[in-house]
Every structure is written in structure tokens, then in C-alpha cells.
Structure 1
Amino acid sequence: MFKHYFEQIHNVEIWPIISLVIFLIFFLCLILWVVQVDKKYINRMKEMPLEDGNEANET
């Protein structure tokens, strides 16, 4: 049923490729960020929910 709708769309075959490229770029960037992020930043973010409201403002 839906196949007929897609057959009428001009250049429909490019959209799955674009989606895959966006997906891969996003996750590659995310992996690079995780590898390069400063460990002090990760520890500070990890401890934030456990801190008092007064201590959270001291950065």
C-alpha cells in the first residue's frame, strides 16, 4: 500500500542514504567527544546530582 506513495516521490532512493550518513556522522562525533572529553569534567557532572544547591554554584 505505502509502496505506491513512495514510487511517486522524485529521487526517493537518496533519502535512506542521507539518513544513514546523518546517523553515522552523529555517532562518530559522539564517540570522538567521549574519547576526548576531560575526565575532570565527567567526574564533576557525575557528582552534580549529589551536591547541595550551594556547592553547585561554585565552579
Structure 2
Amino acid sequence: MLKFIKGHMETIEGIEIYPIISLLIFFLFFVVLFWWVFTAKKDYVNEVSQIPLDSKNDTEL
């Protein structure tokens, strides 16, 4: 089955660009994520980290 898929994919013109594009998207996503993490304001991080512990956000079922 894998041999059939590999043989079929070799006949598709321009298919070699798709793995490169997906790797670039993956890499860029994590670069932007790391940039956001390192430039985030400490006050914002502290405020958001307290949300799960905040009792006024509790809802009763």
C-alpha cells in the first residue's frame, strides 16, 4: 500500500513544495509564540495566571 502511495505521489507535479511549506508554517508559528512569550508583560501574565484561582469567577451548577 505504501509503495502504491509513494509511486502515485511521485507522479504529481510540484508536490515537493508542500512539505517545505508545512515546515515553514510550523517553524514560524513557534517563533512567533516564543516571541510573544518573551515580550509579554509580567502584569498581564500574573493577572491571567490568577484567573483559575479567582473565587468570583466560580459558577455553581
Give the shorter-chain TM-score range: 0.7 to 0.9
User: What is the match of residue 57 of structure 1?
Assistant: none
User: Which runs of structure 1 show a deviation greater than 6 angstroms over 4 or more consecutive aligned residues?
Assistant: none
Deviation at 1:8, TM superposition (A): 2.5
> How far apart are the structure 2 equivalents of 1:21 and 1:30?
14
The number of aligned residues is 54
Structure 1: runs of 5 or more not aligned? 55-59
**TM-score, structure 2 normalization:** 0.78
Structure 2: runs of 5 or more not aligned? none
**TM-score, structure 1 normalization:** 0.81
RCO comparison, higher one (Cα < 8 Å, 6+): 1
Aligned Cα root-mean-square deviation (Å): 1.2
